[in-house]
Amino acid sequence: MSRILVVAGTDSSGGAGLSRDVAMAQSLGCSVAPVVTAVTVQTNSALIATQPIPPQIIADQVKAAFDPAGQIPRAIKIGMIGTPEAARSLAQALPAQVPIVLDPVLKSSSGGDLMSLEALTPLLPKVTMLTPNLEESARLAGTCHHPQEPPELAELKIRAQIILATGVAAVLIKGGHGQGTHCTDHLFTADSHQMFSTPRLPISKRGTGCSLATALACALAQGASVTAACAQAKAQMTLWLSNPG
């Protein structure tokens, strides 16, 4: 069984964060080494409180997961980080040559800010794939986002170029918060662009960003290429969203 490292916060509602990451990983045949960055108090409709974990404790959790005496994680998924200090500590602790998927969780799906843009800066040069939604991609690129006016492909390319310039190897701009009959995700690298599209389902669940990023990390841990990982994760999300459970 492949093992992934998951860096994220807890969610007391169980709908997102580490709980959702572990559930998705296990459904895909991967085990999880969890690194807790923050404890949050959430319901399905509100973020009530957040307690960050000290940066050194976060770094120590990462180092313990990569102890040669244990099963070494083959990929890393990063969600909520918490503070810029935690991001700097995390960036120093992460090993080289391990695929990293970073879900830029700037806000919780239940409402409320979770992370600043500045907190991401130290980590970006180490990231294999960044997975922002449409609003997050605009914020990361410093451009405007209009929810009622879906961005054209040319605008997405501009955002991707700005994000890639930070050192990220690939960026997957998710279309789940968009409009239209199909949900299309756009994968950009320095020299390529690919689209992954499925019919838009009339279903909404919390934890979709966590689930997709974890599915990507699992696919990479199991030896898939970045492109294949995106296709596999997209199919897995359709199955998960179609399941009423």
95: CATH:
3.40.1190.20
Q: What is the pLDDT of residue 14?
A: 85
Q: Domain of residue 198: give its range.
A: 2-242
Q: Which residues of the chain have pLDDT under 70?
A: 107-116, 147-148, 176-181, 244-245
Q: Is 1 exposed, middle or buried (0-12, 13-18, 19+ CB in 10 A)?
A: exposed
> Which residue type does 100 have?
I
Q: How many domains does the chain have?
A: 1
> Which residue type does 31 have?
S
Q: What is the pTM of this model?
A: 0.92
Q: Answer for the pair 37, 7: CB distance below 8 angstroms, yes or no.
A: yes
> Which residue type does 89 have?
S
- Using the 8-state DSSP alphabet, how is residue 239 labeled? H
Q: What is the pLDDT of residue 68?
A: 87
Q: Answer for the pair 30, 218: CB distance below 8 angstroms, yes or no.
A: yes
> Which residue type does 34 have?
P
Q: What is the pLDDT of residue 244?
A: 63
Q: What is the pLDDT of residue 51?
A: 93
